[in-house]
Amino acid sequence: MIRHGLIFNLDKIMKKQLLQKSDFIYFKKIESRWGDMDGLRHINNAKYLTYFETARLEYLSTLGIDINRWNSKESVILASMKIDYHQQSSYPNIYEIGCRISRIGNKSFDIFNALFESTNTAPIVTGTFTIVCFNYHSQETIAVPDSIKNAYHPFEK
């Protein structure tokens, strides 16, 4: 995939090397609930999106982007997401969700998440979330803030 002149292929990187917890600096722990399972007795695929959302919002807050500050001129809006399911998981479980910025553009960036069981090193689910920097007052896109640029740590090729 080509974005802003850069060739970026996360699938190729993930095939070359096993994604590990050590690839992440920020983690959010989340406990599964009985009601998160579906009729097949594993965590429902939609629940992982909620887990990722919780981790993503807390991660953004550590970078100075707080979506609860309604008067802020710097905010974000989710533009797209790609989710890959690698394994099943069930209740009870404690998950560790790693977050990192994997791409920077002029007005958008990607957050890559990986959800690990606390007792396992292989990811259960991974996701890439494209985030657009946005001013809700003017209803316009804005440049990526320095706090986001400073947190960018590309995967090694």
Contact between 75 and 136 under an 8 Å Cβ cutoff? The reply is yes
Mean pLDDT of all residues in 19-35? 93
73 falls in which pLDDT band (50, 70, 90)?
A: confident
User: What HEC string does 28-92 produce?
Assistant: EEEECCHHHECCCCCECHHHHHHHHHHHHHHHHHHCCCCCCCCCCCCEEEEEEEEEEECCCCCCC
Q: What domain range includes position 137?
A: 2-150
Q: Does the pLDDT of residue 91 top 50, yes or no?
A: yes
Banded model confidence at residue 103, pLDDT cuts 50, 70, 90: very high
The number of C-alpha atoms within 13 Å of 127 and in the hemisphere containing its C-beta is: 25
The answer to the question of residue 155 being in a domain is no
Peptide bond into 145 cis (omega under 30): no
CATH number for position 96: 3.10.129.10
What does the pLDDT look like over 41-72, one tens digit per residue? 889 999 999 999 999 999 999 998 877 766 77
Task: Examine residue 45 and state whether it is found in any structural domain, yes or no.
Answer: yes
Give how many domains the chain has, as a whole number.
Answer: 1
Please indicate, yes or no, if residue 156 is contained in any of the structural domains: no
Mean pLDDT, rounded, for 127-147: 94
**98 within some domain:** yes
User: Which pLDDT score, from 0 to 100, does residue 4 have?
Assistant: 38
Does 26 fall in a domain? Answer: yes
What share of the chain has pLDDT > 70, as a percent?
87
What is the band of 118 on the pLDDT scale with cuts at 50, 70, 90?
very high
pLDDT at 81: 97
DSSP 13: H
Please report whether residue 94 resides in a domain: yes
In this predicted structure, the answer to whether residue 93 has a pLDDT above a threshold of 90 is: yes
Encode burial over 89-111: b for 16+ CB neighbours within 10 A, e otherwise: beeebebbbbbbbbbbbeebbbb
Q: How high is the pLDDT of residue 41? A: 85
